[in-house]
A and B are shown apart, each in its own frame.
Chain A
């Protein structure tokens, strides 16, 4: 019997298997940031150990960095201390760090692909649940906890039980106003916030094939929001074209050799998945969430479903079952994060806001995913378009996605956001988040209320 893409990569990384226990999985690349790594380093030092394979670790500060005045020392003491700890720990262990003023700094899941650190067939881990982003390249990439970070530091391996496999096939052309974000919000709404727990998901089908790499990253990024361990997509010409020439990609004959291997990375036609699901793009509309987990999503034109398990969420959000969201006034718009903070996202936003003005009732940030995205957005004139529309363009970081820095949404305020989580208080204590695509967020910024972006296209 043939193998799934997941199994091909998994099997190539098994060092050993414990009888009636987990396997020792070898990790090719370990990405770290300032928030979940310090305790792992401390644990290592307590055991009088050093990082085993420092060349396979890449570090950048992103979670709690400010998004203005990044050339100045970080004002908030605890954040400054965490970033300093990361710097010290990287120096001490010989780890490559893209620090605050390095031209490659950015959200860890944005810089990995853009620098060519992320490659097909790899195992990649990071102390962050959105590590599945890298799965868009045909990698096994997943989020880990701090104890596991310490394990990878110590041994370059993890003890892992093999997850079940699921294939989600999406066929058809994208309807007007529907983006990859809408596809994944639709799938999560169908499966619920825990519906893929225990599975590693492969996304397939003509709709996925037609997506750019950055759009594919958005899909894989949110795999965790339905509980999946990770998500991945088989590499193809789109993948290879995106990767070629990037800084850490192999060059010349090495590229050819790697390419020959990467082309073997797909699920065999007779491979068996533990679960198979099929969707059609014609069933998808621009999506929006109304509740307090990413599974509580609806087509933007539809009413909020009446469902007993929604009661607590609706009370928090200040909505009622049966009502429509269209036309509701919004206070904040956030565009950014590892889900939608890449250059293509900013280009799409610019197309919508060009020649228009931000509504007066909206406070808005656009936060680029990395220094390189920031530079590119300036070079392409996107930032000029944003500024002409009255929109604030900031410096890279995770920002208001999780509000660890100053970029917070106040209590009770509504924020339409391109990020990945609408949990209670996610964007600041008492904040109310509605997840959407970048173009829907742009439409809301212009009208000041929940809007069907198709009216503005």
Chain B
């Protein structure tokens, strides 16, 4: 996993609630047996028409909006557990997703691959969408160590929650597997008394 600490970037806004993982990556693109290339199909059916031509009115096809930060409406990432959704967002170049509310599995999957979900207040999110609408170059700074997110032009900062454990994982680029493997003795000791019928 790549290390992540401070991300400062302009944003790509998708001001829609309940963006489900079927929209982020439709099921028909889940047939790969490796992790490469999912970014090409990120938001496939919102991004391309029936003839695979980019839809002009979709934000990812608008060169005005770019950056490492994706901003979504509330309940982002609902539905299917497919980690492919997080892979597609990451593969497209995003490192942070901001919303007022994430679906649980999507949030977990993102943290596990080094994509940071930042939960902000409804008010902060509304301000962010409004500011990006005014100025597409609006920069946002996300500082994991300090657990803060700032809209630089507005001088507006909010703290976000992340466990110390996950914070360390992101900053150091460590994943849960290494940690779990280091606990193998404890797992084996647990198994000695644990009954599975």
In the bound complex, residues from chain B placing their C-beta under 8 Å from that of A402 are: 22, 27, 80
* Cβ–Cβ contact B180 & A151, under 8 A: yes
Query: B16: which A residues are within 8 A, CB to CB?
Result: 312
Binds A, one of B54-62, B120-128, B145-153, B162-170: B162-170
The segment out of B63-71, B105-113, B136-144 that lies at the interface is: B105-113
Contact among B23, B30, B190, B196 with A424 in the assembled complex (CB-CB below 8 Å): B23
Of B31, B34, B180, which is within 8 A of A24 by CB? B180
A81, A157, A426, A430: the one within 8 Å of B22 (CB) = A426
Tell me if B9 is interfacial: C-beta within 8 Å of chain A.
no
Cβ of B162 to closest chain A Cβ, rounded Å? 10
Q: Size of chain A's interface in residues, with CB distance under 8 A?
A: 79
Given contacts A143-B81, A159-B176, contact A254 B197 (CB under 8 A): yes
Inter-chain CB contacts under 8 Å: number:
193
List the one stretch of A31-39, A209-217, A277-285, A340-348 in contact with chain B. A31-39
Contact of A129 (CB < 8 Å), options: B32, B81, B113, B176? B81
Chain A residues 289 to 327 lying within 8 A of chain B, measured CB to CB, are: 293, 295, 309, 312
Q: In the complex, are the beta carbons of B28 and A403 less than 8 A apart?
A: yes
Who on chain A is nearest to B180 by CB?
Answer: A155
Tell me whether B33 and A42 are in contact (CB under 8 A): yes
Report whether B112 and A79 are in contact in the complex, using a CB–CB cutoff of 8 Å.
Answer: no
CB distance from B45 to the nearest CB of A (A): 5
The answer to whether A150 and B177 have CB atoms under 8 Å apart is yes
Q: Which residues of A contact B50 (CB under 8 A)?
A: 411, 429-430
Q: A21-B163, A146-B83, A254-B197 are in contact. List 10 more A-B contacts (CB 8 A).
A: A16-B186, A20-B163, A155-B180, A155-B187, A156-B187, A157-B180, A229-B104, A261-B197, A309-B17, A421-B79
Partner of B20 from the list A12, A81, A423 (CB cut-off 8 Å) is A423
What residues on B are CB-neighbors of A143 within 8 Å?
A: 81, 105
Main secondary structure of the interface of A (DSSP, over half): loop
B46 to chain A, nearest CB (A): 8
Contact with B along A402-433 (1 / 0, CB 8 A): 11100000010000000001011110011000
Q: What are the 5 tightest A-B residue pairs by CB atom distance, in nearest-first order?
A: A21-B165, A145-B83, A194-B75, A145-B109, A78-B31
Binding-face segment, A120-128, A329-337, A378-386: A120-128
**Cα–Cα, bound, A78→B28 (Å):** 10
**Inter-subunit contact B83/A198 (CB<8 Å):** no
- The 8 Å CB contact of A155, one of B18, B31, B184, is B184
Query: Which residues of chain B are within 8 angstroms of A426 by Cβ–Cβ distance?
Result: 22, 27
